[in-house]
């Protein structure tokens, strides 16, 4: 039976409807399910964290790699189904929890192999999930996830484009991002209103070191505040937000020091230049 048939059968026999509030769009195209797992380079001995296993279509393919699978699912109805579908799999642990409330450290600190994340994400919390996972970048080898195509475009965008923003910069300064393939909405049940895409985020320590960011927290706060009013001049947005307690003249001085025009807007500034601004702020605060 293919994933489409399995999904229809499970939903019919359990009188189940996909829950919009949990972002439930079940992926039923076997080529895409396999493609996600193949692109994540999982090996037996790795720990794969799956977020939102749902009815288990993606879980089925991850389990075939021989890796240990740790799946976090918020919907109790899904837990019963998953337990029934995967009774004979000793390499699967299912946890009935909201991924945003999980202390991942507890689960990954003693893992010997690589930790990888694979998921068809619930789209309503894509950004907080990605930022949460990046907090564990020292321990996570890769994050291969289905997201809305629009989010994939934002993450992979370049300065000056309308997609370029907080998500682009705060992901790209610490990781490499690849757009792997685009997925039509017909690959899901029910079909979402948007086109999707699979992306792979690979944390990259060298990239962060090359940028020479002295304080990641200052950098991320700077970027968030810079884009809080993206149409305004950067100096005004930063001064209005009270960035790190700096005065407007101090901010204007920093903008000049890093070689930017006084009229520059947030979306015109590269990741490298944000790193320089953050370091100037760091120096000023630690004088």
Task: Give residues in contact with ligand SAM (CB under 6 A).
Answer: 22-27, 51-55, 57-58, 72-75, 78, 98-100, 120, 122, 125
Q: Residue 240 CB, nearest distance to ligand SAM (Å)?
A: 33
Looking at beta carbons only, is 99 or 239 nearer to ligand SAM?
A: 99
Q: How far is the CB of 13 from ligand SAM (least distance, A)?
A: 17
Give me the half-sphere count of Cα atoms (radius 13 Å) on the Cβ side of residue 103. Answer: 3
Q: Between residues 73 and 252, which has the closer beta carbon with respect to ligand SAM?
A: 73
For ligand SAM, give the closer residue by CB, 74 or 281. Answer: 74
Q: How far is the CB of 168 from ligand SAM (least distance, A)?
A: 23
- Using CB atoms, what's the residue nearest to ligand SAM? 52
Q: How far is the CB of 125 from ligand SAM (least distance, A)?
A: 6
Q: Which is nearer to ligand SAM, 174 or 196 (CB)?
A: 196
Query: Smallest distance from the beta carbon of 126 to ligand SAM, in angstroms?
Result: 10
Q: Based on CB atoms, which residue is closest to ligand SAM, 120 or 170?
A: 120
């Amino acid at each position: 039976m293919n994933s489409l048939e399995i999904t229809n059968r499970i939903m019919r026999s359990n009188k189940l409807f996909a829950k919009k509030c949990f972002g439930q769009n079940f992926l039923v195209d076997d080529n895409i399910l396999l493609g996600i797992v193949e692109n994540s380079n999982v090996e037996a001995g790795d720990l794969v964290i799956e977020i939102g296993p749902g009815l288990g279509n993606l879980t089925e393919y991850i389990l075939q790699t021989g890796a240990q699978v740790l799946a976090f699912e918020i919907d109790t109805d899904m837990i019963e189904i998953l337990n029934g579908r995967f009774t004979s799999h000793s390499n699967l642990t299912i946890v009935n929890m909201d991924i945003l409330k999980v202390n991942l450290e507890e689960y990954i600190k003693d893992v010997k192999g690589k930790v990888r994340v694979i998921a068809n994400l619930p789209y309503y919390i894509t950004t907080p999930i990605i930022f949460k996972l990046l907090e564990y970048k020292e321990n996570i080898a890769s994050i291969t996830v289905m997201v809305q195509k629009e989010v994939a475009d934002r993450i992979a965008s370049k300065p000056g484009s309308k997609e370029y923003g907080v998500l682009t910069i705060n992901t790209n300064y610490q990781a490499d991002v690849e757009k792997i393939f685009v997925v039509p909405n017909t690959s899901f049940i029910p079909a979402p209103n948007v086109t999707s895409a699979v992306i792979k985020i690979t944390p990259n320590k060298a990239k962060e070191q090359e940028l020479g960011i002295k304080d990641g927290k200052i950098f991320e706060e700077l970027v968030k505040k810079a884009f809080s009013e993206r149409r305004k001049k950067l100096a005004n947005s930063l001064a209005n937000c009270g960035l790190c307690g700096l005065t407007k003249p101090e901010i204007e001085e920093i903008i000049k020091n890093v070689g930017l025009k006084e009229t520059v807007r947030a979306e015109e500034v590269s990741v490298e230049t944000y790193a320089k601004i953050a370091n100037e702020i760091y120096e000023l605060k630690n004088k």
